[in-house]
Every structure is written in structure tokens, then in C-alpha cells.
Amino acid sequence: MKRRDFVKQSLLTTTGIVFMPNLLNAENLAPDLSFSMNAKDKGTSYAKFWSKCVGAGRANEGLRAGWLEQLALVKKHCGFEYCRFHGLFHEDMCVYKEVNGKAIYNWQYIDDLFDRMLEIGVKPFVELGFVPKDMASTEARQFWWKGYVSPPKDLNKWAELVSEFTKHCIQRYGIHEVKTWYFEVWNEPDLKGFWDGTKSQYFELYRSAVNAIKAIDKDLRVGGPSTSNFVPDERFDGEVEDKTKHKTLTVKDINTLEWRGVWIKDFLSFCEKNHLPVDFISTHPYPTDWALDPETKKGAGRVRHVNATQQDLNWLQKTIAESAYPHVELHCTEWSSSPSPRDTTHDSLQAATYVIKANIDAIGLTDSLSYWTFTDVFEEKGAGDTIWHGGFGMINYQGIVKPTFHAYRMLNQLGDELLHKEEGLIVTRHSKSGKIRALFYHYPFERKEVVDGNVEDVLNMGTPRNVALAIKGLKSNTSVSVETLDRTHGFAYKKWQDMGKPQFPTREQTNILKQHAFDTKKEKLLSNINGTVVFKRTLQPWDCVLIQEM
């Protein structure tokens, strides 16, 4: 079909509703995307890993009503099975203190948190860290809430803490439940800000933790090294980071470099040499050069190409396959478009399109790709100074969902049988119901890198794309729903701007924004007498469209 004819025909769907694409760009569109299929086509089963795990800031935040309400919301709509967070052993959880050299344990706050999570239907992905104050060997601390990030001054006491905690969880929740959990040793120990020690000291920390847990039950799942984003140089080859070896500030295009995971090979070798069990490898493949929110402008714009996550996962798959632990699970326990809690694209539409693209590209490559985070009830830098401050969350502090919430909600609606996948489209089927689920997304070809920078500039870049999907083999008059996430539907930021950008919205304004944020565009199609339904549309850049057989 000629492009001009496609544009004309795509203005009118089978519902008779008219859609007006940006006709100024009609002669300058991205490549057409058209696919025809039969609802009875053979599919292949695959894991919907995007619903496995999601992140949150720290354990104590989980004791707040807003945090728990939002966790229930993402469980209901996005299906997350696990939640991971820092600070389980932090002072505000009141877990540990020493009196006359004797350890005193108090599990009440952890019990409260875990009880409520499990009632919601979300299991803890347990991050073992940081150390309690009385166990810290240095005064090194991190974040506004000042978590102690030093190695334990006594590894035996650390092992005892881990052991007593694990035994308490088993006593409270039962061994069969706790065997379904994951125990991850620490968070990003390659970074000085999270581990005031060396690589070798972390490996010994892992040794003591995994031995303590496996001594209780060998089937409990333990892993690491939970390291930060990939690098293209030797900065982490030694015992501590060598900042003189950073390459990316010396090259014009960072995507010409070869990127690799941090400490992964060394960790696997250490565990093999010392006959230590490893149930999963964990790491954080943020697609940027900087692992922490940059304090200077040096980190600005050092984002990688849009397929970086897929590239990193391929490296991890190869590295694990060649190791002594070829069958371990892979859990990317933090991931987002950037590791900055003040990145305004986190609040915007283009982040949702990136989430969908990256997850679909990663099918078959990982057991989880845990979005950091589900909520802006999050205080690494303290509270955000406005309702839209670029926080990590897919829901803001006031409970207003962001486009990334819809991205995960749409992904969660996909079936467990893969029928077709290409750039911009995935078609699936639910094995139990036989219902078709398809998802279009338009990450503009003009954008070669991961989304960042000025929200408006990125939002307005790119050219439209004609898409079409024909589904045959349905019963006649089968209802098919079409749901669209775009810059005017399911995206409350523009509505907030129209309100005058209130820093502290009234209760009435907040309720209006909540409703607007949920209002994606919804339409209905019907299959014809022959059981065929055809969807056609000219997608604007960043549009996402979910198609569901009802």
C-alpha cells in the first residue's frame, strides 16, 4: 500500500471514529509496520519477566500508608510478584543493638512490613544491608537517611545477624514460603558510596552470608554481587574504583566502546574457587555511564544507545553460560532509563515507551528487570520539592500515576504465548483463555539514545509511523478493545501545567490529576462476519497502544 493511501485509510477505523494524525508530517513518516495473523497461529511460551520484581527506596518507607496503598495499586494492575528495597537492617528499623557486647534483636518493624506486603500479595526480594550502627567498622554513611555502608567490624556477628533474621522469617512465615524468596547480599558494593571497603572484603561478606543461610536450608536462594551499571573500561578491575581509568569522558561517542558488567566474572570465579553456592546473579544495568546521580555536569548526556540494555543482557547471558554456574538465575534488581532521582523524563511519556521497548527487546534474556522504583515515596535525597521532580517512581507522592505505570500495566496484560515480535510491535496469546493481546509502541527512530534531557524537546522529536494489525480466525462480532497512551491520554503532566503548576495541589486538584492520569483513550472494534478485525493507525512518536480480544 502506498504511504499516502495508508494515511487516508488510517483516518477511519472499523468503528467509524476519525483519527487525525499530524498531516504536516504525512510525507515524512517512519517505516510502515503492518502484520497479519490468525488467532490460532502456533505460539511459543515465554516468561513475562517484567512483572517479577519492582524496586522501592528503603524498608522504613514501607511502613507508611501511602507506600502500601501504592504497592497494592501496582500489584493489582502491574502484577509484580516481588519488591526490593534498601535499609532492611538500618537504624530506623530497630533491628539490632549491642549491650555489653551481646547482640539484641528486634524484628517487629520487619514483621510489620513483611506482613503487610504478603497480605497485598507481594513477596520480599530481600536485600541484606546495610549494617546496623553497632556493627559498623567506619562512620561511612549514604543518603539523607544515613545508612551505614561500612564492612561489618566482625563478620561472625554479621553472619549471626543474617542467620537469626532468616530463622525468624522461617518461624513466622514457614519454610515453604521463605524458600520462594530471594536473599541478595548488599547493594552496589563496587561503589564507594555504598561500600566503604574493597572487592575482596565484599566477597568475604558474601561468603559469610551465603554460608549462614545455606546452613539453615540449602534450598534457600542466595545471590550477588548486586553491582552497579556496566562500564567500558578498567575502573573496577582493582580492589576499589580507579577514577583515573574512566574512558567515556575522553571519547566523542561512548557507544563506540565495549561495555561489560562490574565484578561479575571475578565474583563467579571467587565462588567457584571457594566452592560457594550461587543461586542467582544480580546487577543493575542502568544505560548510562554514571552509576549515581552526578554531582557535576560531567555526567550530563552520557547516556547510551537505546539498545544498551539488550546488549548488556546478552553479555550477562554469555558470561554466566561460560562460568561454573551456567544455570543460575539472572536478576537485574535495579533498572530504569537513568539512576538519577531528579531526571524529569521519569515523569514523562517517553519513559513509558522506553520501558516497553527495552522489556520487549529483553524477552528470553533475564529472569527479572526490576524497575527502580514503583513509588515517589522515596527519600534518598530527601523529599521531592514539587509533585513532578523527576523521581524514580511510576506513581508520584500524591498517588498520581505516571506513564511508566501504564507501560507496566500494558505489559502485564500481554499473554504468555509469543506469536510475533518486531520493532514496535508484540503479539501474544493467553494460553488458558486463548485471547489475543498485542501492543504497539513508537519509539521514534530519530532518537538513537535512551531518553533523557529536556522533556519537551524529546517529547516533540520524531516522525509519525503508520501501523496496522489484521487478526483473523476470531468468531464473528468479537469485541476487541483498543487503549492508547499518548501525550493527552494517561499523562497528567499537561493537565498540571494547565492548572498553573501548583507546587502543592489542593485535594480537589489532586483528585482531578489522579483521574486524568488514569484516563487512557479507550475504543472498541468488532470483527466482521468472517471473524477478521483490522486495526490501523498513524502513531505519533511515543504513542503506545494495547489491543485486547475481549
One-letter amino acid of 72: A
Q: Are strands 82-86 and 53-58 parallel, antiparallel or unpaired?
A: parallel
Residue 279 class from Cβ within 10 Å (0-12 exposed, 13-18 middle, 19+ buried)? buried
Q: Residue 205 belongs to what H/E stretch?
A: helix 199-214
Place of cell 531518553: 451
Q: What secondary structure letter does DSSP report for 266?
A: H
Cα Rg of the chain, angstroms = 24
**Are 384 and 402 contacting, i.e. CB atoms less than 8 angstroms apart?**
no
Tell me the per-residue pLDDT of 257-295, one tens digit each, with 9 for 90 and over. Answer: 999 999 999 999 999 999 999 999 999 999 998 777 655
Query: Could you please report the per-residue DSSP string of 212-234?
Result: HHHTT-TTSEEEEEEE---BSSS
Q: Domain map of the chain by residue range?
A: 3-38+419-549, 49-413
Buried b / exposed e over 438-467, threshold 16 CB at 10 Å, is bbbbbbbeebebbbbeebeebbeebbbbbb
Q: Which CATH superfamily is domain 3-38+419-549 in?
A: Glycosyl hydrolase domain; family 39 (2.60.40.1500)
- Of the candidates 334, 380, 449, 549, the residue annotated as catalytic is 334
Measured between alpha carbons, how far is 384 from 379 in angstroms, rounded to an integer? Answer: 8
Question: Do 475 and 527 meet the contact criterion of CB atoms below 8 Å apart?
Answer: yes
Residue 271 confidence (pLDDT): 98
Specify the CATH class of 49-413 in words. alpha beta
- Per residue in 434-462, pLDDT tens? 999 999 999 999 988 898 866 777 888 89
Q: Where are the alpha helices (DSSP H) in 259-402?
A: 264-273, 308-321, 349-361
Same fold, 3-38+419-549 and 49-413: no
Cα–Cα distance measured from residue 9 to residue 121, given in angstroms and rounded to the nearest whole number = 46
**What pLDDT sits at residue 252?**
86
Mapping DSSP onto H, E and C, the string for 92-127 reads HHCCEEEECCEEEECCHHHHHHHHHHHHHCCEEEEE
Q: Looking at residue 250, what is its pLDDT?
A: 85
Residue 544 confidence (pLDDT): 98
Alpha-carbon span 443 to 447, nearest angstrom = 8
By the 10 Å C-beta count (0-12 exposed, 13-18 middle, 19+ buried), 101 is classed as exposed
Residue 524, Cβ neighbours under 10 Å: how many?
A: 13
CA 46 to each of CA 321, 333, 416, 418: distance values in angstroms, whole numbers, following the listed order: 19, 20, 6, 7
pLDDT value, residue 28: 62
CA distance 82 to 70: 14
From 61, 91, 184, 188, the catalytic residue: 188
Q: Known catalytic residue: 119?
A: no
Contact 323, 278 (CB under 8 A): no
User: What is the distance between the alpha carbons of residues 15 and 258, in angstroms, rounded to a whole number?
Assistant: 49
pLDDT tens for the chain, 550 residues: list them: 333 343 333 333 333 233 333 333 445 667 899 999 999 999 999 999 999 999 999 999 999 999 999 999 999 999 999 999 999 999 999 999 999 989 999 999 999 999 999 999 999 999 999 999 999 999 999 999 999 999 999 999 999 999 999 999 999 999 999 999 999 999 999 999 999 999 999 999 999 999 999 999 999 999 999 999 999 999 999 999 998 999 888 888 899 999 999 999 999 999 999 999 999 999 999 999 877 765 544 455 588 999 999 999 999 999 999 999 999 999 999 999 999 888 889 999 999 999 999 999 999 999 999 999 999 999 998 888 889 988 999 999 999 999 999 999 999 999 999 999 999 999 999 999 999 999 999 999 998 889 886 677 788 889 999 999 999 999 999 999 999 999 999 999 889 989 999 988 999 999 999 999 999 999 999 999 999 999 999 999 999 999 999 9
pLDDT at 295: 53
Residue showing cell 485471547: 435
Q: Is 334 designated active site? A: yes
- Interatomic CA distance for residues 420 and 547, integer angstroms: 14
Q: What SS3 class is residue 547?
A: strand
206-to-15, 169, 179 alpha-carbon distances in Å? 59, 20, 19
Q: How far apart are CA 504 and CA 34, in angstroms?
A: 45
Query: How many CA atoms are closer than 13 Å to the CA of 384, on its beta-carbon side?
Result: 24
Tell me how many helices (H) and strands (E) the chain has. 13, 22
Supply the pLDDT for residue 385.
82
φ, ψ dihedrals at 427, nearest 5°: -120, 130
